[in-house]
Structure formats: C-alpha cells, structure tokens
Amino acid sequence: MAFEGLSEKLGNVFKKLRGRGKLSEADVREAMREVRLALLEADVNYKVAKDFVARVTERAVGAEVLESLTPAQHVIKIVNEELTALMGESNAHINFSSKIPTIIMMVGLQGSGKTTHSGKLALYFKKMGKRPLLVACDVYRPAAIEQLKVVGEQAGVPVFEMGQIAPLAIAKKAVSHAKDYGNDIVIIDTAGRLHVDETLMNELLELKNELHPEEILLVIDSMTGQDAVNVASSFDEKLGITGTILTKLDGDTRGGAALSVRAVTGKPIKFTGTGEKLTDLEPFYPDRMASRILGMGDVLTLIEKAQENFDAKEAESMAKKLGENSMDMNDLLNNLKQVKKMGSLDSIVSMIPGAGKKLTDEQSAQGERQLRLTEAMIYSMTKEERAKPSLIDAKRKRRIAAGSGTKVEDVNRLLRQFEQMQKLVHQMNGHGKQGKKLRQMMSQMSQGGGMPGMPGGMQL
C-alpha cells in the first residue's frame, strides 16, 4: 500500500517524541531531520522535502508548542496540517461547463493507465447521473481502440471511434455527436509516448486549441517515483494541465509522487486509482490522505465506500432484524458479500483509526481466505440451517465441513461467533436506553446506507 514505508518511519519519529514528555528545541530539530530523511526515502522531491521540514520546524519550535502539556501531539498536529497543505488542502472538483458537453482530455505517457482510467472516470460520472461518452483518439498504440471498447462496455458507457484517422477529426466529430445525442461529458483518450517529445505535445496542443477542454487531466503512474514529478512538470509547462490522476496507489510504492506533484506543478490531484477494477477510483482528499500517512485512518472514505456498496433496502431490513434479534446466516452472508465490494480487507483495515500497521501479506491473505471459507460454509448449509443455525448438530457439522472444504472446528468457530454476536445484540436490545439507541443507530445507517452487520463480519 502507498506510503507504507513513510507512515512507519514517521510513526517511529512521533513515538520517540511522545516518550520524551517535555520537548526542547533540539528535540524538535532532531525529529525534523528524521522526518526529512523519511520524506527523501519516500522519493519526495528534495526541494519539497526541504521546504516542508522548514515550515514544520518553524511552527514546532514556538513557545506555544514547547511549553504545552502535550508538545508531541502539537507537533503531530502541525505535521498533519502541513501535509494536508502540501497536497492541496481541499478536494479539487471537476470543472463542468455551463454548456453541454464538458470536455475532458486524458493525457500522459504510454503505459500510465490513461485508457483504463478514462473508463473509471466515465463510470464515476455515470454513477453521478451523467451521460459520458468515451472517445478513442489513441490511434497509434496497437489495440488501444479495442481496449477502450472493452472498458466502455464494462462501464456501460458508449465509445465513439472512427478507426485510425487523424485524432483531431475524431475528437471534433465526437463532440458534435455528443451534442446530438445528449452526452453531457466527453472523455478523450489521447495517445501517449514512452517519453515526452515534440510530436506528442504538438498533437495534444492541437486538440487543446481546437476543443478548449474544461479539464486536461494528466494520468501519472505513482510507482515511477521521482520521474513522475519530472513528467508532470513537462506536461504542465507545455500543455497547461488542470489536474492529475495518480494511479497504482494500491501498489507497494513509496508515495513521493503524491506529495511532490502538487507542490511542483501547483495543479491539484483530483483522483487516485486504488486498484484494477473500474470502481477503484477515488476523489483525492488531501486531509484524508494525510491522516492515512500518519496512521490516523480514514473514516470518511470508509463510510462513503459503505454507503456506495450497501443496499439501502437491505440495510433497513437488517436494522429491523437487529432490533428484533432475528438475524440469521443468510443476513451474515449478504453482509459479507457487500463488505467484499468495498475492496480488499487490507484497504478497509487501513482506513480504521487505531487499527495499527498495515496487514502483512500473510495476514491479508489469511483474512481473505477466512472470508472465502466463511462464505463456503454458509453456502454448504441448507435453507433451514441458515435460517435456524441451532438445528446444526454434529452430523450436520461434518456434512457442512466436507461440503465447504473446511474442518468441523471451523464450523464450530463460525457458529460460536454467530452466537456471541446474537447475545451481544440481545443484551443491547434488553437494556432500555441502550436498546433504543441501537435501534436508532441502525435506522440511521439504513437511511444512509451504512454498514449493518460489519462487526459480526469483521470478527470472522
């Protein structure tokens, strides 16, 4: 996961500060030297790292911090604020045109993920109620047009293409087509090169000058590290980008690009690609990313993912069942399916405050395996057993274990955890104000598409 190394190193720095109680100016300056080294190792631009540490140090050695009862917390707060400012302070929205259509040019080097992220962006807008149109203007790369067609089909978004003719002719015809057919957003997948060259820039400039796009989004592979900053600088200098999309933030990357691109170009990061699925695209929130880097979690993004993936009607039904303490294995199975839609277990855990360090590969794999086995065990139960788990005796346990490729001990563990969850809900329902509070909470979650059953699912 992005920033893993940086997050761990900053955590160690802050741990030392907390252990010292009162801080001296020397303590702060020593800590900031370690922070600077951590940033450089994370591939943050040298000048960006230097300026960042200077700003933090200037604020952290003030009397208000050094004379406070919790100076270490003050320093962490300052680092959090400066990290947020470094990445843009607030979420940068897409600039929509007052006239249809809004034109978005996707630019970047070959292999950065332009085509895939054009599809992701189209799906993102479609979910907002927009009617996007994808345009195939990469006429040089073999199979680029076919790839966009596949991506468009997966996203349920139409693709406009005219074969391998001049990109400008295709783009102009596509805009006319969008006006005729009511497509309010046109996303142009442009050609890339292995490196920035004059031919590439001339073609992109021609498109820009003729189409006057509202957005020119540079797609950057965050795993290219420091080179991503150089690419961003070149594109911005020659083309005048309006923002960036950072891809592969789910990879084992040092994350320096995210901390440097905005500072060097002055242009905001608007989206991040966090996985291979078309749904793995998130608006970029600097404050939330800063919280993740500092190990504080990201509750708001977690809630938004839950609201997007949990069905409101099922949530309302779950609220009622929890209030009546009538939840069964079918409900647990539905919750597991919806939790899986939110992303990998590792990504979910990384957003939970206080969850600790990133899961190791072994822990993540074991957790995902346990979820699959839990599903398999429930699928191996009969309808009657799912509705009434108390029917499951020793003979039935052996059958369920054999059918799901698990052991009887695994089935016993699942039943025991389910029983514990039912007891907990029963206790809360039976304690007057607590019971009322639980029902109110579940009702609110059902209205907002919250996460009913999540505690039970996470226990597995």
> 270: which 2 tokens?
């608007």
Higher pLDDT, 455 or 258: 258
- The DSSP bridge partners found for residue 135 are 160, 188
Length of the chain: 460
| Residue closest to 449 by CA, chosen among 302, 304, 310 | 310
Side-chain half-sphere CA neighbours of 115 within 13 A: 23
- Burial class of residue 252 (count of CB atoms within 10 Å of its CB; 0-12, 13-18, 19+): exposed
pLDDT digits (tens, 9 = 90+) for 336-382: 777 766 666 566 655 555 554 555 566 666 777 888 888 899 999 99
- Using only C-alpha atoms, the chain has a radius of gyration, in whole angstroms, of 26
pLDDT for residue 114 is more than 70: yes
Q: Name the most confidently modeled range: 319-328, 385-394, 438-447.
A: 385-394
Domains detected in the chain: 4-87 (1.20.120.140), 102-293 (3.40.50.300), 303-459 (1.10.260.30)
Sign of the dihedral through C-alpha 95, 96, 99, 102: positive
Q: Are strands 102-107 and 185-190 parallel, antiparallel or unpaired?
A: parallel
Q: Which residues lie across from 415 on neighbouring strands?
A: none
Looking at residue 190, its pLDDT comes to 93
For 12-26, b where at least 16 C-beta lie within 10 A, e where not — what string? ebbeebeeeeebeee
* Strongest mean pLDDT among 14-28, 198-212, 221-235, 295-309: 198-212
pLDDT tens digits, 26-77: 888 888 999 898 888 888 888 888 999 999 988 888 766 666 657 777 888 8
- pLDDT (average), residues 76-101: 86
Q: CB–CB of 134/152 below 8 Å?
A: yes
The answer on pLDDT for 103 being more than 80 is yes
CB count within 10 Å of CB 88 equals 22
Tens digits of per-residue pLDDT, 389-436? Answer: 989 999 999 999 999 999 999 999 999 888 887 777 666 555 544 445
Strand (E) or helix (H) holding 168: helix 167-181
User: What is the DSSP code (8-state) at residue 243?
Assistant: E
Burial class (CB in 10 A: 0-12, 13-18, 19+), 363: middle
Q: What angle do CA 231, 187, 190 make, to 5 degrees?
A: 45
Q: What is d(CA 146, CA 162) in angstroms, rounded to the nearest whole number?
A: 12
- pLDDT of 40 reads 86
Preceding amide of 101 cis, omega within 30? yes
Answering whether pTM is above 0.75, one says no
Residue, of 20 and 328, whose pLDDT is higher: 328
Which backbone phi and psi does 154 adopt, to 5 degrees? -65, -35
pLDDT over 70 for what percent of the chain?
75
